[in-house]
A and B are shown apart, each in its own frame.
Chain A
C-alpha cells in the first residue's frame, strides 16, 4: 500500500502580500495584485526577513523561496527543531527561469567593466537550484535536495516529486514548492516578443476578451510529511497530496496540444493515483493563464478527463486572475491556495471574467466567492492543474482535512 502524504505547513509570498493567508483572504474578497500589467510582490521587503548576508547572496527568486519556506516550516511547527532525522527530510524547489535578475546585472558589469569584475556570486545566485539550496541550508535539510525545471509546471512537479520521494520511502518529510522573480527588462522583452503577454495588462482567464498572460513573481512552499509520522508527532494535518499525474504533449515548443488530450491524461492519472473519480471533485484550481490557447485547451482537457456533464458542474477558478502568472512558482502557489480553498470551504472567483467565450462553457466562478460544497459532507477534494511551455502537463489532487 502507498504511503500517504499529508500537508502540515503552507507558505507564500505573492502580489497579494507576504503570507499564505493574505493570498486567500484578499483574492476571495475580490482583490487583485496586478498593477500596470505586472504582479509584483510589492509588500515584500527583503530586509524585513533576511540578514544582510542572505539578501546579498541570493537572487530575488531564492529570497522569495526562503521567506515562503520559513512561513511553511513555522506553520508546521518545525521552527525550533526538525521533527525528523535531517537525512530523512527532502527539499525540492522549482523555478521556471532562475536568477535572471542576477544574469542581467552581471552581464551589464561584464560589458561595462570587463570579465574580471563579474561577481563570484553570479553563478551561485542564478543557478536554478539556488532556491532549493538556500532553503536546505537555512533549515539543515539533508535528504534529497534539488531544483525542478519545467517552466510553468515546475512548482507542481516539485510537489509531485516530493510526494513520490516520501511514498517510495526515500524520505519521511519534504519541503516542496517553487519560486520565480522575472519582472526584469529582459524577461519582459522575451515574453513580449513571443506575444505571450497581455498587451492590455488584464489577466482575465476564460473570458472572451483574454489576450495573453500577465507576468507575476512570488513563491509557494508546502511542508509534506508521511501521514503516520505526522500523526505520531501530533502535527496539525491541513490536508493531503492525494494524487499526482504528469504527461508530455510532445507537440509544440509553446502551444498546448489543442484537443487537451495529453493534459486530460495527466488529470486522469492524478485522479486514479488518488483512487477517486470526477464525482468526488468539488473544485478545480485551473492553470487558467488568460491566453487564448491555454484556456481553450484546458477547458477541453477538463471535459475529457471529468466527462462533459460532470465538468460543467464543478466550479473552476484561476488564481492567475488575482496575481498573474508566477511561472515556475505558479503550481506551488496555486497548490497552497487550493489547500486554503479546501480548508476554508470558500472558492474565490475568476476575477475579470465578464464576457463568456461561447467555446468555453464551464462554471468559471464569475463575480464573487462562493461556498465550496463537498459531496457527502466528507473531506473535499480539488484538482490543481499546471501546464507549461515545452508541453509539460501536471495535475495534483489535493484533499482537505475533515471538518
Chain B
C-alpha cells in the first residue's frame, strides 16, 4: 500500500466530519468532537470510511479515547503507515 500522508488523512477526516453536519470551517485539529456535536454514531461512520479508505480498523475502545479531530487524524495516520 502506498504511504498515506498525514495531510491526506486530515483532508479525508475533515471532509467526512463535515458531511455529518458541522460547518467545515469549525473543523480544526484542536476542535473537540463535543464542540462539533459529533457523537459515537458519527465516529462509527467515520471508522467505516477510514476502514474502506486505508484498511485501518478502529474499534470502540480506540474511538473512546479520541477527544479532538487531531487525535483522530494522528491515530489513523499512525495505523495507516
Interface residues of A (CB under 8 A from B): 51-53, 56-57, 116-117, 119-121, 124
Contact at B37–A53, with CB atoms within 8 Å?
A: yes
Residue of A nearest to B47 (CB): A120
A219 to nearest B CB, angstroms? 22
Contact at A56–B51, with CB atoms within 8 Å?
A: no
- Is B55 part of the binding interface, using a Cβ–Cβ cutoff of 8 Å? no
Q: A116-B51, A117-B52 are in contact. Are A53 and B20 (CB under 8 A)?
A: yes
Q: Within the assembled complex, what's the spacing in Å between the Cα atoms of A51 and B20?
A: 10
A10 to nearest B CB, angstroms? 30
Q: Which residues from chain B contact A52 at a C-beta distance below 8 Å? A: 19-21
Most buried by B among A51, A53, A116, A124: A53
Interface size on B, residues (CB 8 A): 10
Q: Within the assembled complex, what's the spacing in Å between the Cα atoms of A370 and B19?
A: 50
Q: Which of A56, A116, A117, A121 contacts B21 (CB 8 A)?
A: A56
Q: Within the assembled complex, what's the spacing in Å between the Cα atoms of A116 and B48?
A: 8
Q: Which residues from chain A contact B44 at a C-beta distance below 8 Å? A: 120
B25 to nearest A CB, angstroms? 14
- Is B45 part of the binding interface, using a Cβ–Cβ cutoff of 8 Å? yes
For B37-58 the 0/1 string (1 means CB < 8 A from A) is 1000100110010011000000
A122 to nearest B CB, angstroms? 10
Task: Give 7 pairs: A residue, B residue, CB < 8 Å, sorted on A.
Answer: A51-B21, A52-B20, A117-B52, A119-B45, A120-B48, A121-B45, A124-B41
Q: Within the assembled complex, what's the spacing in Å between the Cα atoms of A120 and B47?
A: 11
Q: Within the assembled complex, what's the spacing in Å between the Cα atoms of A116 and B20?
A: 19
Q: Within the assembled complex, what's the spacing in Å between the Cα atoms of A200 and B37?
A: 48
Residue of A nearest to B21 (CB): A53
Q: Which residues from chain A contact B45 at a C-beta distance below 8 Å? A: 119-121
B80 to nearest A CB, angstroms? 18
Q: Within the assembled complex, what's the spacing in Å between the Cα atoms of A120 and B58?
A: 14
B39 to nearest A CB, angstroms? 10
Residue of A nearest to B51 (CB): A116
Q: Which residues from chain A contact B21 at a C-beta distance below 8 Å? A: 51-53, 56
Q: Which residues from chain A contact B52 at a C-beta distance below 8 Å? A: 117
Q: Within the assembled complex, what's the spacing in Å between the Cα atoms of A119 and B51?
A: 13
Q: Which residues from chain B contact A51 at a C-beta distance below 8 Å? A: 21
Most buried by A among B21, B37, B45, B51: B21
Contact at B41–A56, with CB atoms within 8 Å?
A: no
Among all A-B residue pairs, the 3 with the closest Cβ atoms: A53-B21, A120-B44, A52-B21
Q: Within the assembled complex, what's the spacing in Å between the Cα atoms of A124 and B45?
A: 14
A-B contacts besides A57-B41, A119-B45, 17 pairs, CB < 8 Å? A52-B19, A52-B21, A53-B20, A53-B21, A53-B37, A56-B19, A56-B21, A116-B51, A117-B48, A117-B52, A119-B48, A120-B41, A120-B44, A120-B45, A120-B48, A121-B45, A124-B41
B57 to nearest A CB, angstroms? 9
Q: Which residues from chain A contact B51 at a C-beta distance below 8 Å? A: 116
Contact at A121–B20, with CB atoms within 8 Å?
A: no
Q: Which residues from chain B contact A116 at a C-beta distance below 8 Å? A: 48, 51
Q: Which residues from chain A contact B37 at a C-beta distance below 8 Å? A: 53
Q: Within the assembled complex, what's the spacing in Å between the Cα atoms of A57 and B52?
A: 21
